[in-house]
Structure 1
Amino acid sequence: MLHGPPKTASNTGAAHMGGRIAIRGESASQLPKGRTMLNILPVLVNGTHATYGFIDSGAAPTLAARSRIDQMGLKGRPYNQIKATEASTFTCKEVLSLHIGNINTDEGEHVTDVLVADKINVSMDHAMSQEWLTKWPHLSDLEVISLPEYHRQVELIIGLDTTLNRVILDQRHGLKDEPSAYLTKLGWVVFGPTGTRSTSECRAHSLKKKVEANETYKTIYVKQVEKYLLKGYAELVPVDKLNHSDGRVSYMAHHGDKHPTKEKLRVFFDLKAKHAGTSLNDHLMQGPDLTSSLAGVLLRFREEKHAVTTDIQEMFHQVKVPEDDSNSLRFLWWPGGDTNQAIQEFRMTSRVFGARSSPSVINFCLRQAALDYGDKYGKEACCAIRRNFYVDNLLKSIDSEEDCIQLTKDLIGLCADGGFRLNQWTSSNKDILAAMPERERDKSVVTLDLSKDERPTEHALSIHWDMSSDEFTFKINLKEKPRTRRGVLSVVASLYDPLGFVAPFTLKGKMLLQDLCRRNLPWDEDMNNDEANRWSRWTSQLQCLGDFKIRRSLVPPDFGEVSSYQLHHFADASQTGYGVVTCLRTVSKNNQVNSTLVMGRARVAPLKRSSIPQMELTAAAVAAQLDYLASRSLDVDKLLESSLWLTRPEFLCQEQDSWPALPNDVKRAEIDGDPEVKQSAPIFSMFAPEPILVEKIAAKFSSRTKIVRIIA
C-alpha cells in the first residue's frame, strides 16, 4: 500500500499477522516498457489475515480466491455461476461475507456477498514498487507497503458492489504517459500504463506478428489503412502536435475483421479497451438515440408495391472530428504498411465506428441535412430520411414506379448536398433499377442483363431479400458447435429474425437453452443424451429454413386499390412459452380480400413456473390453433406447410358475419385449479317478508269468533 508523508516505514502502525507485516521496497531495477500498473494493494481480511487485493472497476461482484478462504477456515453458502470481470472469467461455487479493511487501521467495509473463485489470475507483476515510484515526481513522496514474499499473490478482487472500489478521497496525475494515483479507503493505489501509447505499442506488436504471418491478411489490412490516409479520414500527426499535452491525447489499438466470403476487411478501433481502469468510451457521451427502430423500418419496407434499397458510402467517415478531438483518436501504424520501418503516430480526422458517440452524431448530421435541404427536394425525401433509414441503410417502398424514380433522384441530391453519397441501389422493379445511374447500382447487379437475367438475392439487414420474386428468405450458415450450453446459445443468438417470421421454430431452440439454464448446466459441459437428441433434431431442421419464403409486400401486386385495412392480433400461452402474432386484412374496392402475416413473437416462459395467463381464457378459437404453432413450437416442415401461419386464418378473408363467435361458456373441467380464474361459491340466505294484517291478528287472538268479528 502507498502512504503520503509524514508517515514512514517505522510509524505506519501496521497490523499483525502471525507476528508483523514487513514494510519494504521491492528490488526492481527497471520499469518494464509497456507495463500496465493495476490497482493492487495489501488489505486485511476479517481483521487478521493480510493479502493483496485488486480494485477492479470492471467487476460487479467482489471475489476471493479459494486458497485464501481455505487458509482462513471459512465455509460459505452453495453457489454455482460463472462470473466475468475485467480481469478474467471465474467459476464460483460458494458465497460468503468478509470484512475487508485498510492494512494499517483495519477500517473498511463488511461485504456481504463475496464469491469464492477457484483461482484469481491477476499477476503481481502489475503491482507498483517503491523503486518505480521515484521515477515520477508527482508520486515520489508516496511509500509502498509490501507483504512477505510468501504472501505475494492477489487473492481478492474488490468489485463495484462495495464503496471500497468506488470512493476516491484524493488523486494525483502526471503527464500523458505517466501513471496516476488514487487515495481509497484502503490506501493509495498507483495504476495505469506507463503511458497509453505504451499499451498501444504492445497491441501493435501483436498485430505486427499477425500480419507478417499472413501475407494476404497483411495486403488487405494495409490497403484499408492506406485508403483512410488517401481519402483524408486519417492523417499523420503533425510534428508540432506530437508533444501535445493538454490531457486530451489518447491512443487506440486496432485490429481487422475480414469478411468470411469476400476479400474485404474492416479495421476496428478499440475504444472500449481499458487502461488505468477506464476507456475512451467511458469519457464519451452517447447522445440521444436518433436511430429508427429496425422493426419499424422493415415494416414500412413492406407497405407498398415497389421497393428500393441503398446505403450511404462510408457514412461514419463523412462526418469530421474537430482537430482538438482528433488527438484523442490517435493510433500507431507503419508508414506505407512497411512493418520494417519505425512505427509512427497517426490520428483519425473523421468519426470512428465503435465510438460511443458516433451513432448519435452521424444520425444527427443526416437529419440536419434533411432540414437544411428539405425545401429544395421535397417532403417525401425528408420523410424517407427520418423514417426509412436504419443507420446507413435505406429501405423504402413506394406505390408507383414514377414516384419511386423521382424519390431516388431527390434522395441522391439531398444527401449529396449534405455531404453523403448514396450508392449500391437495388430494386425489385427492373425499370426502376434501369433508371438509376449504373455506377450507383449495387455491384452484384450492374453486369446483369436486366431484361432476362435473374437478379441475385440482396441481404437486407440480416434478412435476405430475393429481388427476383420480391420475397424474404433465410440463408443458414450453420457451423459446428459443441453440444454445450454455450454452443446452444451461440446458434440460437445467431438466428436473426427481427419480424418473427419463423418464431414458432426458433422457440424450440430457446426452450432447450432454458432447460439447460434451469438445471444450471455449466457453460462448457456436454448436455445429456436426451438434450443432445433434441439439439440434433432441431439443428438438422434448421437447414430447411432456406426453403422458407414470405412475400415482401403486405398486399399482392395485382390486388388493386385498397379500401380497408384491419390489423388483427392473436395471443396465446402455455406453461412452456407464449406467442403473439399480428396479421393484416385488406379489402380492395373490387371487394377482394387478402390476409397476410405482419410479424410474430415467441418467448419462453419465465424460469420461475407460472400459470397460464388469463388471456388464454378469452382468446378466440383460432388463438388455440396458434398456441400449437407459436407457444408450443412447431417443426420446420410444418411451418413451411402452414398456410395458417403465413396468411392467417381463412375466415379473415370472409365477411365478418361469417367469422366464428367467441365461446359463450367454459367447461368447469377446463378451469378448475387454474389460479388465474376467480373461484365462486354459492351463498344462501332466508328472507322473511313483512307479515300481512290477517297474520298479525291471528297471532294476537286465539279465539276464532273474535278474529271473525274484528275482521268483519
Structure 2
Amino acid sequence: MRRLKREDVCYENARPRVLIGTDNWQLIVSRKLLTGKRHEPAASLTRLGWVIHGLAPSRVIRDSDTVLYVDSKGRAERSTKLLDDELHSMVKEYFEIDSLGIVKKARENPDETRAIESFKSTVKNVDKRYKVGLPWRKEDISMPPSYDQARRRLLAIENKMDKSVEFKERYTAQMNNMFEKGYAEESQDNELESPKLWYLPHFAVINVNKPGKLRLVFDAAAKSNGVCLNDALLEGPDMLRDLAGILFRFRERAVAVTADIREMFLQVKIVEEDQPAQMFLWRGDDRTSPPKSYKMTSMIFGAKSSPFLAHSVRDHNAAKHAIEFPRAHEAITMNHYMDDWVDCFDTEQEAICVIKDVVHVHAQAGFTLTAFNSNRPNVLRELPLESRATAPKQLGTSADQHGRTLGLIWDAESDELSFNTVLVRVPQEVKTLERTPTKREALSAVMSIFDPLGLLSYYTIRAKIIIQRVWRLQTNWDEELPDELANEFRTWLSGVESLRSLRLSRLYAHTGGVTRKQLHVFCDASECAYATAIYWLVEYEDGSKRVILTAAKARVAPIKTQTIPRLELQACLIGARLATTIIREHRWQPHRVVYWTDSRTVLHWINNDRVRYPPYVAHRLNEISELTEPEQWKWVPTRDNVADDATRIVNDVKCKDDRWFIGPSFLYENEDSWPSLNVIDDCDIGRHDDIVLNVTNVEWSVPDAGRFSKHERLVRAMAYVLLFIDKCLRRANEMSMTHIRKAEEWLVKRAQSETFGEDIERLRRGQNLKMSSRIRKLDPFIDEDGVLRARGRTRAAGVSAPDTTPVILDGSHPYARLLCNREHRRAHHSHNERVVNDIRQRYWILRLRPAVRAVAYKCAFCRMRKTKPVRPITGDLPRARLEAFTRPFSNCGLDYFGPMTVTVGRRHEKRWGALFTCLTTRAVHIEIVSSLSTDSAIMALRRMGARRGWPQVMYSDNATNFRGADKELREAVTEWEPSLRDYALTQRIEWLYISPGAPHQGGAWERMIRSVKSALRVTLNEKAPRDEVLHTLLVEVEHTMNARPLTHVPVSADDPEALTPNHFLVGGSHGLPITGPCETATKKTWRVAQALADEYWRRWLKEYLPELIPRRGARDVNEAAIKPGDLVIVADHTLPRNVWPRGVVTQVHPGPDGGVRNVEVRTKGGVFRRPASRLAVLPME
C-alpha cells in the first residue's frame, strides 16, 4: 500500500475494527485492487475504504469443544427472530399496560391453585428469613442432563470477560458478592445425585439508564434435551397489585413516600431439597481447571415462579403482623408494586410512624427498605442517610432482559410527575429524522412510551392510528414506511421530545376545606378511534373548584368498519369500566359520578330498555347498566367534550394548563349552566349511512339451481323473480300459473345454454351439428319458445307434440338432478325404472339412469329405509376362552332361561334355570332357582361355587338384554346387579357385563341355552312336572351336554375318543370306569391322574384350539370403521324400521384388536352405549 498516493489513504498504525459479513455485499464490492507477491496480502478499495485480504498471523490456539450440530439458518435470519421475539414481548407488555383498568382479570386456573397450595405447605420462617419450596408441576420430577449446556454458556461468558477487563471485574464482583452474602455456595457430592439436578446458565443484564449497575440473571428458560427449568415449574397467579390503582392512591394525599426493597428475590431462601435444581458453574479466573458446581440457596432472577414466591412471602409476612401493625399491613399489601413501595399520607407524623412500622415488619422477613424518597425533607431527616434515594424516582418501572426502562418520573423536590420518552430501542438516526423508519422501528417507538394512566392518550393515539394504517398495507417488518405515512410519523416523533418537558402535579388537590368530590367521565369516538377521559372535580368551602385529569384511555377503531354510534357505545363502555376501577382503587369516594357523551343515539339506547337491540349493542348496554345508572348519563356538545381530543390526529403537544389536563371550562361554572338535553324521541335519531353502488354484469339473473335442494323451491324462487318484474312494469300483482310455467321455461333454457351452448348457437345460425355432438342423433331443434327439443322418429305416432318432442337436458346438470329428485319423490321412492319411465314422458335426459341412481343414493329416506347395520370383522376371542391348564369354571358365563312351570302339591309354581358355562372347557353347570329375587341368585352362585369351585371371572348379559321374553326376568336382573357385585367382590370374583343390545357378545352361553331348551323339548313330556322330575331332567341334560365332543369324532377304533368337557371334569366322556381296590401307592395314582389331565390339555391345545382360529362370518372387505360424529340409525328389531331412532356417535370404544366394537350414541332420548353391529351409518353429504 506504500505505492498509493498519500491522498488515497490516510491510515497510520491502524488496526481493523469491523468485520463485514457477506449479507452487506454492496459495502465490500471492490472498486480498485492492489496485489503484491505470492503469499503476500492484497488490498481492495470499497465504499467503506481499503480492505486487507490475506492470511492472518498465527496465534496460540486454545482447546475448543467440538459441536456436532449445524444450524441451516443464517445469522440474519436468527437476528430477525430475536428482534421478532423482542418486539412481541414489547407489544404484549404495552397492551397489558394499555388495558389497565378496562379489562377484567382472568380467573384463577387449576395450576395457579396448585402453586398456592405448594407455597402454603412449604413456607416457613427460620431466623427471620423465609424458606419456600419451588412449585413443581409434577411431584415425582426428574430432570434430564443439563451440564453440557451450562458449560457451553459459561465458556461464552468467559470469552466475553477475556475481551473486556471492565466487564470481567464487574461480573466477578457480583459473583463474589453472592458467595459472601450466602446467596450461593459450593454444592455437596450427594446433591449431584438428586433427580431434580439442573444446571442454570447465567448472564449479565445492564440497565441502560443505570450503566454502572450489573445484575446477574440465571437463565431458567434455557433448554437442554428439549426441557428447561421453567417447563417444570408452575408460574403461580399474578400477585402484583394493579399499577394504575397504586398510582391513583399515590396522588391522593399531600405527603408522598417511595422506597425499594433491597435485593428482594435474594432474601427468600429455597428449601434444601429443591436447591439442586439451582446449580450453576463457575471457576473465576482459572481457565485450566474444570468448572466447579455451585448452588443458589436463594431465589433466582429468571425463574418464572420467582415473582409469585417473592410476593407471596412479602404478603404472608405482612399478614402475620396485621393485628399489631394494621397500617403497615395495608401499606405492604396494597401499595407495593414488585419491590417498590409507593404511598402517601395526610401528615408528616403519620408518614414517619408508618415508615417505621413497615421497616419493622419487613425486617421480620429479612427484607430491607432502602432508597427512601419524599417530598417532605422532615420525613427524610428521620431516616438514616444511607437509606435515602439520590435520584428522581421512576414509578412503575420495568427493566427487562434487553435493558429497556420505562416509567413515570417523580421529582420529589417539586412534587411533579414527568414522562420518560427517551425511546432507547429506536435507532438514533430515526429519532433525529435522518432516516425513514421501518415498520419494526415505528412500532418499537410507539410501544416505548410508558403511560399506564393514559395521560398522554391524546398524543399517543395518533401514532396508533398510523401503525394501524401501516398494518393495512401488509408491509414487511423491516420495510420502510411509505412516504405519506413516514412524513406523518416524523411529525409525531418530533413532538415526542417536547413531552419530556411536560410536568404535572402529583397531588390531585389539597384536602383541607373540601366540601364535595365528583367524578366526571367523558366519552367520544370518531372514524379513527374511541376514547374516554376522567376527571376529579373538587369543590372547596370558599366556592372554588379544582379539576384534574385522573386517567384516560384511547383505542383505535377496529379494522372492520363500525358505525359511529357503535364506536360511541364502545367508548361509553370503557369509560364505565375505567370509572369503576378508579372508584374501587381510590381511598377517595366521589359524592357523585357523571358520564358525558355527545352521542344522542347512545343516550337513547341507555335510557330505553323497551327495545330489543342487536347482540353487539345489547351485550354492551347490559354491562353499562350493571356499572352505571341511566340518570348518571348526560349530553355534552362536541366542542366541550374533552375526550374528542383523543379521537383526532393532534400534532401539537399540550401544556399542563390545556383543557385536556384541567377539564372543560363548564365544570368550573355552576351546575345550572352545564349542558343539558331534553328527552329524545325515536324520530329525532337519524341514521347516516354511506350508500355504495356495486354494478356487476351477469349472463343470467335467475337463481342458481345448485343452491336448491328441491325442484319446487327453485321454480317458485324463479317465479317470484318474474313476478317482481311484472310488478315493476305494473303488469301483475299476484302469482299465477303463468309465472310458474315461464319460470320452468327459463330454468330449462339456462340449463341447456350451460351444457349445449355451442349446439344451440349452430342451430340458430342454421348450421349442422358437429360429428362429436352428444345430441346429434336426437335430431334436435329449437321451438318457438327457444327451448331445445328432440325431434326423433315418432312424429307419426298420433300423440301430442310434447310426448314426441321431449326437452333435452344433461343428466349431470343440477337442474336435471332436481327433476330426477322430484320424480323420485312423486313415485314414493319406488324402483329407479319407474322414475326413468315417468321422466321420459316429457324430458330426454342424457345419462338418465346414472342420474336417477345418484339421486336415489343420496336420498336420506331411501338410505334410512335400505341401510344395513355395520358388520365389524369378527373380533379376537377373549383370554378367558384360550387359557389352558386352568381349573374348569375358572372363567364362567352366566345366563338365565325359563320360566318353567312345576307342580307343588295342588298349585303350580314357576322355576328358572341358571346356566353356568366354562368359557375354556365349554362345560356347563345348571342350577334351579325358585324365584327372581337377589337371594335366589346368590344362593345359586353359592351352590355352583361349592360344587365346581369359585370362578375368578364371571361374564353375564347386561341387565336389559336377556334373550328371554319374560318382562319380570329383565326387571329382576336389573335389581340384582348391585348386590351380585358386592357378593362377587367378597368372593374375589371379577364380574363383567357385555354391552347393552349385543347378545352376540354372549354367544358362548346363548348357544348352551339353546341346546338345553332343545333337550328339554324332547325329554320333558309333562306340562307341569314335579320339582324332583325337573331337577333330575336338568342334571341329565347337564351330563349330556358335558359329554358332547369338542373335537372331531374318530372313525377308526385305534384313534383316541373325541375330547369332551367331561374329560376335564370327571376324567372321561362318561366318567372314569369302576375299579377294584387300589393296589398301587397313592402317590403313584396321583401322578397317573395328573398325567391324564395334562394329556387332556395337550389334546385341547392341539385339536380344539386350532378349530377356533377361523373367523365365523367374517367380511370379505373391511368396511369403514365408525368414528365420532357419524350420523347413525340404531337398529332395534323389536320396532318397525321407520321408527328406528337416529343419533350421532359421540365416542367409540375399540376392542383389544383395535376394531370398533362398542360406541356411545346421542339420541333424543339421551346417550346410550350400543354395539357397532347394531348401527347403520348414514351418509353426511
TM-score if structure 2 supplies the norm length? 0.39
Q: Which residue of 1 aligns with 2:417?
A: 472
Unaligned runs of 5+ in 1: 1-31, 39-53, 55-64, 66-81, 90-172, 178-194, 445-455, 676-712
Aligned-pair CA distance for 1:367: 0.9
Cα distance in 2 for residues equivalent to 1:668 and 1:642: 41
Cα distance per residue 1:175-212 (max 9 Å; x no partner): 966xxxxxxxxxxxxxxxxx311111111121111111
The verdict on how the C-alpha distance between 1:628 and 1:571 changes in structure 2, with shifts beyond 3 A counting, is closer
Cα distance in 1 for residues equivalent to 2:683 and 2:141: 78
- Equivalent of 1:662 in 656, 666, 677: 677
Aligned-pair CA distance for 1:214: 1.3
Greater percentage in helix: 2
1:604 aligns with 2:564: no
Equivalent positions of 1:167-186 (< 5 A) are: none
Aligned-pair CA distance for 1:257: 1.5
Q: Which residue of 2 aligns with 1:333?
A: 282
1:484 aligns with 2:438: yes
Contact 1:544 1:636 in 2 (8 A): no
- Equivalent of 1:311 in 260, 283, 286: 260
Cα distance in 1 for residues equivalent to 2:230 and 2:142: 21
Contact 1:270 1:354 in 2 (8 A): yes
Q: Which residue of 1 aligns with 2:665?
A: 650
Cα distance in 2 for residues equivalent to 1:247 and 1:33: 28
Cα distance per residue 1:464-488 (max 9 Å; x no partner): 0011211101232234246111001
Cα distance per residue 1:499-521 (max 9 Å; x no partner): 11111111111111111111111
When structure 1 is superposed on structure 2, of 278-287 and 483-492 the one drifting more is 278-287
Equivalent positions of 1:485-564 (< 5 A) are: 485-556=439-510, 560-564=512-516
1:252 aligns with 2:188: no
SS, match of residue 257 in structure 2: strand
Q: Which residue of 1 aligns with 2:1024?
A: none
Contact 1:351 1:358 in 2 (8 A): yes
Greater percentage in strand: 1
- Equivalent of 2:228 in 279, 283, 305: 279
The verdict on how the C-alpha distance between 1:387 and 1:622 changes in structure 2, with shifts beyond 3 A counting, is farther
Aligned-pair CA distance for 1:671: 3.9
Aligned-pair CA distance for 1:561: 3.2
1:298 aligns with 2:247: yes
Contact 1:300 1:397 in 2 (8 A): yes
The verdict on how the C-alpha distance between 1:671 and 1:485 changes in structure 2, with shifts beyond 3 A counting, is farther
Counterpart residue type for residue 409 of structure 2: H
- Paired positions, count: 484
Contact 2:524 2:643 in 1 (8 A): yes
Cα distance in 2 for residues equivalent to 1:371 and 1:437: 27
When structure 1 is superposed on structure 2, of 308-317 and 584-593 the one drifting more is 584-593
1:620 aligns with 2:565: no
Contact 1:250 1:330 in 2 (8 A): yes
Cα distance per residue 1:437-495 (max 9 Å; x no partner): 222111x1xxxxxxxxxxx5322221000112111012322342461110011111110
Contact 1:34 1:201 in 2 (8 A): no
Q: Which residue of 2 aligns with 1:107?
A: none
Aligned-pair CA distance for 1:657: 2.1
The verdict on how the C-alpha distance between 1:339 and 1:648 changes in structure 2, with shifts beyond 3 A counting, is farther
SS, match of residue 407 in structure 1: helix
The verdict on how the C-alpha distance between 1:516 and 1:397 changes in structure 2, with shifts beyond 3 A counting, is same
Equivalent positions of 1:357-372 (< 5 A) are: 357-372=305-320
Cα distance in 2 for residues equivalent to 1:395 and 1:37: 51
Counterpart residue type for residue 673 of structure 2: S
Q: Which residue of 1 aligns with 2:371?
A: 424
SS, match of residue 374 in structure 1: coil
Cα distance per residue 1:392-421 (max 9 Å; x no partner): 100001111110111111111111122211
Alpha-carbon RMSD: 3.1
Cα distance in 2 for residues equivalent to 1:413 and 1:566: 38
Aligned-pair CA distance for 1:563: 2.6
Q: Which residue of 2 aligns with 1:345?
A: 293
Q: Which residue of 2 aligns with 1:631?
A: 647
Cα distance in 2 for residues equivalent to 1:88 and 1:632: 30
- Equivalent of 2:356 in 405, 409, 414: 409
Q: Which residue of 2 aligns with 1:219?
A: 169
Cα distance in 2 for residues equivalent to 1:317 and 1:34: 35
Q: Which residue of 2 aligns with 1:395?
A: 342
Cα distance per residue 1:512-534 (max 9 Å; x no partner): 11111111110001111111111
Contact 1:321 1:351 in 2 (8 A): yes
Cα distance in 2 for residues equivalent to 1:346 and 1:37: 31
Aligned-pair CA distance for 1:279: 1.7
Q: Which residue of 2 aligns with 1:146?
A: none
Aligned-pair CA distance for 1:247: 2.1
Contact 1:33 1:198 in 2 (8 A): no
Aligned-pair CA distance for 1:599: 0.7
Contact 2:638 2:644 in 1 (8 A): no
Contact 1:545 1:636 in 2 (8 A): no
Cα distance per residue 1:121-176 (max 9 Å; x no partner): xxxxxxxxxxxxxxxxxxxxxxxxxxxxxxxxxxxxxxxxxxxxxxxxxxxx9996
Counterpart residue type for residue 630 of structure 1: A
Contact 2:531 2:644 in 1 (8 A): no
Cα distance per residue 1:637-657 (max 9 Å; x no partner): 3x2265211111122233322
Aligned-pair CA distance for 1:634: 2.3
Q: Of the two, which has the highest radius of gyration?
A: 2
Cα distance per residue 1:7-64 (max 9 Å; x no partner): xxxxxxxxxxxxxxxxxxxxxxxxx8665799xxxxxxxxxxxxxxx9xxxxxxxxxx
Q: Which residue of 1 aligns with 2:272?
A: 323
Q: Which residue of 1 aligns with 2:211?
A: 262
SS, match of residue 500 in structure 2: helix
SS, match of residue 512 in structure 2: coil
The verdict on how the C-alpha distance between 1:272 and 1:594 changes in structure 2, with shifts beyond 3 A counting, is same
Cα distance in 2 for residues equivalent to 1:667 and 1:532: 45
SS, match of residue 155 in structure 2: helix
SS, match of residue 375 in structure 1: coil
SS, match of residue 517 in structure 1: helix
Cα distance in 2 for residues equivalent to 1:505 and 1:644: 14
Aligned-pair CA distance for 1:85: 8.4
Aligned-pair CA distance for 1:608: 1.7
Unaligned runs of 5+ in 2: 1-64, 86-139, 397-406, 431-435, 570-598, 604-634, 691-1181
TM-score if structure 1 supplies the norm length? 0.64
Aligned-pair CA distance for 1:562: 2.2
Cα distance in 1 for residues equivalent to 2:181 and 2:327: 32
Counterpart residue type for residue 596 of structure 1: I
Cα distance in 2 for residues equivalent to 1:641 and 1:411: 35
Q: Which residue of 1 aligns with 2:517?
A: 565
Contact 1:36 1:275 in 2 (8 A): no
Q: Which residue of 1 aligns with 2:546?
A: 594
Cα distance in 1 for residues equivalent to 2:204 and 2:258: 27
Equivalent positions of 1:367-386 (< 5 A) are: 367-376=315-324, 378-386=325-333
Residue identity over aligned pairs, in percent, reads 29
The verdict on how the C-alpha distance between 1:200 and 1:427 changes in structure 2, with shifts beyond 3 A counting, is same
Contact 1:566 1:584 in 2 (8 A): yes
Q: Which residue of 1 aligns with 2:806?
A: none
Cα distance in 1 for residues equivalent to 2:268 and 2:479: 47
Cα distance in 1 for residues equivalent to 2:502 and 2:264: 33
Q: Which residue of 2 aligns with 1:575?
A: 527
SS, match of residue 461 in structure 2: helix
Q: Which residue of 2 aligns with 1:673?
A: 688
Cα distance per residue 1:214-248 (max 9 Å; x no partner): 11111111111111111111111123433x1x421
Q: Which residue of 2 aligns with 1:447?
A: none
The verdict on how the C-alpha distance between 1:323 and 1:645 changes in structure 2, with shifts beyond 3 A counting, is same
Aligned-pair CA distance for 1:341: 4.5
SS, match of residue 578 in structure 1: strand
The verdict on how the C-alpha distance between 1:497 and 1:226 changes in structure 2, with shifts beyond 3 A counting, is same
Contact 2:143 2:197 in 1 (8 A): yes
Contact 2:525 2:568 in 1 (8 A): no
Counterpart residue type for residue 574 of structure 1: S
